[in-house]
Structure 1
Amino acid sequence: MNRTLIWQLAWRYLRGKRTANAAPLLSRISMVAIAVSSAAMVIVFSIFNGLEGVVKDLYKGFYPDMRVTAARGKFFRLDAAKLAAVRQVPGIHLLTTVLEDNVIVSSERSGERRIATLKGIDRTYLRVNDITGSLAGEDSVSAGNPYTAIAGASMLNELGVHIDNVFGMIEVWYGNAQNTNFIADPTSAYRRLQLHPAGEFRISDEFDDRYILAPLPLVQTLFNEEGKYSSLEMKIDVDREEEVKAALQQLLGTGYKVETRYEQNKTIFTVMRSEKWAIYAILVMVLLVASFNMVGALSVLVLEKQKDIAILRAMGAEQGTIRSVFITEGILWSLAGGLAGLVLGVLLCLAQLQFGLVKVGGAFLMDAYPVEIHSLDLLLVIVTVMVVGILAAWYPAVRAVRAAAPALRSA
C-alpha cells in the first residue's frame, strides 16, 4: 500500500464523523492539551530570549564582542607592528586599547572615599562599546579634552559631583609601586590625578556605581604603565566569531587570552541558558503527560476501526502498513495541536511585545517582560511535538496490528 493512501486514511480518521463516538472527542481533547503545552513552550522560550537580549544590551557597554587580555599578569605591552597585524585580522571592524585597574576616588565636597574602576580609553572606545544611548553630558574622551572623564551616575551622586559644575572634580588615587618604603616617605604612597566628569552614563547599578572612563594617556601615566594595556577590545563580525578568535590566538600565542562576549560573562549566560533548558525539560514532561490523552484516544480509535483494519488486511495490507496508518494519525494529531499552539504562542508574544500585557513590577529596567521570537525555537517545538506524537502513537499502532487477525475473523 502506498504512502498516499496511508495519509488519506489518517486524514479521514483525523476529521472523524460528527457522531457520539468517543474517538473524535478524545482526539480533540488531546490536541487541545498539546496546543496548550506547545504555546507554553513558545512563550517561555521567547521570554528567556528577551531576557538574554536585555542582559546583552546592558553588558555591551563594558563587554565587547571580543577581548584580548594577558594570560598572566594585569598589563602587557604590544609593539606597533603586532597591534597593526591584529587590526588586519579578517572579521575585525574596530579595535580599541584599554588600561584599567581599581583606584580610590574622592571629592572635596563629600569627603567620601571609595573604590572604583578607572578605565583608560582611546577615542575609538565608544564606537566599539556603545554606551552613547545611556550617556548624558559630553563625550569628552572622544573629543580629546584633557583631564576630563565620563563616570557612572550613581558614583557621581555619591561623591556629590555634577557634570554641569565645571569646578566639580574627582580625585583619583592609585598605589605607587615605586615607593618601597611607605613609612619613610608616606606622601608618595599614592599617585594622584584630578578629573572633571564632563559626562555620565546610566546603564545599571553594576556599572553606574563602579566605572570611570578617562583618556588612556592620563591613566597610563597615573599607573606608571606608559605604552602598556590591560586589554584589546574589538568590534567584530559576530557571524565569524570563532574564526576571528582562532586567528587572534594563533597570531598572539599562548601568552594572551582571547574571549568572546559569552566567555567574558560565562557564568551569567550559562545560568540563563541552563534555566531555559530546565524549563524546556519540565514542559516536555508536561507534554508527555498530555500525550497520555492521545494514547487513550488512539486506543479507542483502534477499537472503533477494527472492521476497517480487517478490510485493509483482506486487501493485502501488511502489518507495517496498518501500523503506519495509526502512527501517521498520531503525527497528524500532534501537528494539529502543535501548530495551533505555535500560532497561539506567537500571537501572545506579539501582543506582549506590542502592548506589554504582563508587567514586571517593581523598580526594574523594563516595565513589561521582554520577548524575542526565534525561528529555531519554533522549529524545536514542532520537532518535539512530532516526536512525542510518534511515541504516543506507537503502542496503539502495535495494538492495531495485533487486533487485525481477530477483526478479520469476525468480519
Structure 2
Amino acid sequence: MNRTIVWQTAFRYLRGKRSANAVPILSRISMLAIAVGSCAMIVLFSVFNGFEDVVKDLYKAFYPDIKITAARGKFFQADEQRLAKLRQVNGVTVITPVIEDNVLVNSEDEQIVVTLKGIDPSYFKVNDLSPYIVEGRDSVVIDPAPTAIVGQHIEAQLGVDVNNVFSRLNLYYPNANANFALNPESAFQSLRLRPDGVFHVQDDFDGKYVLARLPLAQQLFNQSGKLSAYEIKLNPGTDQESVKKAMKQLLGESFVVETRFEQNRMLYVVMRTEKWAVYAILLLVLLIASFNMVGGLSLLVLEKEKDMAILQTMGADRSTIRGIFLTEGILWSLTGGLIGVLIGGLLCLGQQQFKWKKLEGSFIIDAYPVSMQFSDFVLVIVTVIIVGLLAALYPAMRSGKIESAVMLRSS
C-alpha cells in the first residue's frame, strides 16, 4: 500500500470541492455529531473528575493515607517499639494514635448514639480537618475542662452551643467489668465534655463523630494503653502500595494495613463505575452518529469510482484504494473530535474561571467542580478515531471491489 498516495488523496477529498450531492452534507453532519459527542465526553468526564476530587478532599478529614487496625478485635496494645519501626518506613511523615467506639451521648434536650474518637494533637497533621471547622477551635484539651469537637448535625440534634460556656455533653459507655445486679449505676462509664468546636464536612461525618483527647476516650472505654488504629500521613507523591507492603512485612498477620482507597473501596468503585457508564452511553451516541458517516463515505465511493479506476490503472492495488477511504473516515471523525475536544476544553476552563453553572442548595462548593485530565482527552481522541475507522470499514471494502477496466469503459 502506497501510504503517500493514501494520505494525499484522503486530504484532497477532505478539503476539495465536491459535486452537488449529499456527500458534503452528510460529512458535515457526521463531523458535527462527533464534535457534540466528544465535547459532551470532555465536559462530563471533567465534572466527574471535579466531584471525585471534592469527595476525596472531604474524606481526607477522616480517612488518612494509611490506616493500621487490629486483625481481630476492636483494640490493640500500644507499643512504642512497633511505632518507632513504623516511623522508619520510607515515605512516612506523621503517625497519630486513635481510639474510637460508639457511645451514647446526651445533652439537656436529646440523646443519640455517636462515635467518640480519641485523638492527640498530631491528629490534625494527619487528617485535614481544620479547614472544615466552622465554629470554635480546631483543638481539644483536658485542662482546665475537657473539650470536644462535634459534627454540625450532632450540634443541631443535641442543641448544644460552642459559644455557651455552660453547654455540656454527657457520654456513656457500657462497663464490661460492672456487676449490674449489685450496683445498677455502675453499668455505664461516663464522661462529661464541653463542646468547643464544630466541623462541617458532609452528612456521613457531621452526624457521626465527636472528637476528644485520647486519654479521656481510653478512660471511658476502660482501655488504658490501648488503641483502635494508627493513622498515617505520607510524603506527597509517595506510593501508598509500597508503604503498605513494607508495613505488612513489619507487622505480620496481626494487623490490617489499608490505603485510603481500601478504606473507601465502595465509594471509589461507584464513582469510577459511574464515569465509565457515562462513557459507554456517549460511545453509543457516537456509534449511532457514525451511521451518517457510513452513508456519506458510501456515496463518496460512488462519486470517486472513476478516480479509483484511474489509480488502479496507474498501479495502485486494492489495499491502497481501501486505505484511502479508511483514512478519509478517520479524518472525518478526527476533525469532528478535535473540534469537540477544543470546545469542551474551553467550556471547562470557563467553568473553572467564571463558575457559570451553580449548584442549587446548601453545599460546601457553590458551582459544579471541573477537573480536566490529559488521559481523558487522549481517551476521547482514540475513541473517535476508532469510531471513524469502524464507520469506514464497509465503504472501504466496497471501494476495493471496483474494477478499473469496467469503470473506464463505462465512462
Report the TM-score, using the length of structure 2 for normalisation. Answer: 0.94
Matched, 1:276 2:275: yes
Q: Return the offset for 1:409.
A: 4.7
Measured in 2, the distance between the counterparts of 1:52 and 1:3 equals 44
Structure 2 CA distance for aligned equivalents of residues 142 and 68 of structure 1:
25
Q: Are the structure 2 counterparts of residues 294 and 144 from structure 1 closer, same or farther at C-alpha, using a change threshold of 3 Å?
A: farther
Instruction: Name the counterpart of 2:229.
Output: 231
Quote how far apart the aligned CAs of 1:143 are. 9.7
- Report deviation, 1:296: 0.7
Q: Does 1:267 align with 2:266?
A: yes
**Would you say how many aligned residue pairs link Structure 1 and Structure 2?**
408
Shift in Å at residue 146 of structure 1? 5.9
SS in 2 for 1:317: coil
**Higher mean C-alpha deviation, range 287-296 or range 360-369:** 360-369
Superposed displacement of residue 25, structure 1: 2.3
Residue matched to 1:82: 82
Query: Cα gap change, 1:408/1:182 in structure 2, threshold over 3 Å: closer, same or farther?
Result: farther
Cα distance in 2 for residues equivalent to 1:398 and 1:145: 85
- What amino acid is aligned across from residue 350 of structure 1 in structure 2? L
**CA offsets 1:36-88 (integer angstroms, 9 cap, x no match):** 11111111111111111221122211111211111221111242111111111
Q: Check the 8 A contact 2:105/2:170 in 1, yes or no.
A: yes
Counting aligned pairs with the same residue, the percent is 56
Distance, in Å, in 1 between the alignment partners of 2:364 and 2:195 is 24
Tell me which moved more, 98-107 or 23-32: 23-32
* Per-residue Cα deviation, 1:11-44 (whole angstroms, up to 9, x for no partner): 1111130642332222111100100111111111
Deviation of 1:360 after TM superposition, in Å, equals 3.0
Unaligned runs of 5+ in 2: none
Cross-structure match for 1:211: 209
In the alignment, which residue of structure 1 is the partner of 2:162? Answer: 163
CA distance in 2, matches of 1:144, 1:96: 21
Deviation at 1:160, TM superposition (A): 2.6
**Structure 1 segment 85-96 matched on structure 2, within 5 A:** 85-96=85-96
CA contact (8 A) 2:46 2:372 kept: yes
CA displacement 1:315-368 (0-9 Å, x = unmatched): 111111111111111111111000001011111222222333333323333333
CA gap 1:369/1:384 in 2 versus in 1, 3 angstroms:
same
Q: Is residue 308 of structure 1 aligned with residue 293 of structure 2?
A: no
Structure 1: distance between partners of 2:141 and 2:2: 71
TM superposition shift of 1:167: 2.4
Higher alpha-carbon deviation: 384-393 or 135-144: 135-144
Match of residue 194 from structure 1: 192
Query: 1:13 matched to which residue of 2?
Result: 13
Between 1:278-287 and 1:228-237, the stretch displaced more is 228-237
CA distance in 1, matches of 2:138, 2:356: 37
Query: For residues 409 and 241 of structure 1, do their structure 2 counterparts lie closer, same or farther at Cα, with a shift above 3 Å needed?
Result: farther
Work out whether residues 140 and 196 of structure 2, in 8 Å CA contact, stay in contact via their aligned partners in 1: no
Structure 1 window deviating more from structure 2 (389-398 vs 367-376): it is 367-376
Asked if 1:343 is matched to 2:375, the reply is: no
Q: Classify the secondary structure of the residue corresponding to 1:396.
A: helix
Structure 1 residue 142 displacement after superposition:
7.5
Report the residue type matching 2:10 in the other structure: A
List aligned pairs for 1:110-259, cutoff 5 A.
110=109, 112-135=110-133, 136-141=135-140, 147-179=146-178, 181-236=179-234, 237-259=236-258
Q: Is the 8 A contact 1:149 1:197 kept in 2?
A: yes
5+ unaligned residues in a row in structure 1: which ranges? none
Report how far residue 245 of structure 1 moved. Answer: 1.4
- For the pair 1:327 / 2:329, whether they are aligned, the reply is no
> TM-score with structure 1 length normalisation?
0.94
What is the SS of the residue equivalent to 2:210?
A: strand
Q: Look up the match of 2:62.
A: 62
Native 8 Å contact 2:321 2:399 kept in 1: yes
- Contact in 1 for aligned 2:141/2:212 (Cα 8 Å): no
Give secondary structure in 2 for the equivalent of 1:258.
strand
Paired residue secondary structure (1:130): coil
Change over 3 Å in CA distance of 1:14–1:191 after alignment to 2? same
1:170 maps to amino acid? L
SS in 2 for 1:254: helix
Partner-residue secondary structure (3-state), 1:149:
strand
Contact 2:121–2:139 (CA<8 Å) still a contact in 1? Answer: no
Match of 1:399 in 2: 398
Task: Work out whether residues 66 and 259 of structure 1, in 8 Å CA contact, stay in contact via their aligned partners in 2.
Answer: yes
- Three-state SS of the structure 1 residue aligned to 2:104 is strand
Give runs of aligned pairs for residues 382-393 of structure 1, distance below 5 A. Answer: 382-393=381-392
Asked if the contact 1:38–1:342 (Cα under 8 Å) also holds between the matched residues in 2, the reply is yes
- What secondary structure is seen at the aligned counterpart in 1 of 2:400? helix
Q: Is the 8 A contact 1:123 1:142 kept in 2?
A: no
Paired amino acid for 2:33: A
Q: What residue number does 2:27 align with?
A: 27
CA contact 1:96–1:125 (8 Å) conserved in 2? yes
Secondary structure of 2:140 counterpart: helix
Indicate if the aligned counterparts of 2:2 and 2:316 stay in contact, CA closer than 8 A. Answer: no
Structure 2 equivalent of residue 292 of structure 1: 291
1:246-297 Cα offsets, whole Å, 9 max, x none, are: 1112221122111121221122221121111111111111100001111111
For 2:138 and 2:299, the matched residues in 1 are separated by 72
Give me the whole-angstrom Cα distance separating, in 2, the residues matched to 1:122 and 1:332: 61
Partner of 1:214, secondary structure, is strand
Aligned to 1:71: 71
Kept in 1, the 8 Å contact 2:145–2:194? The answer is: no
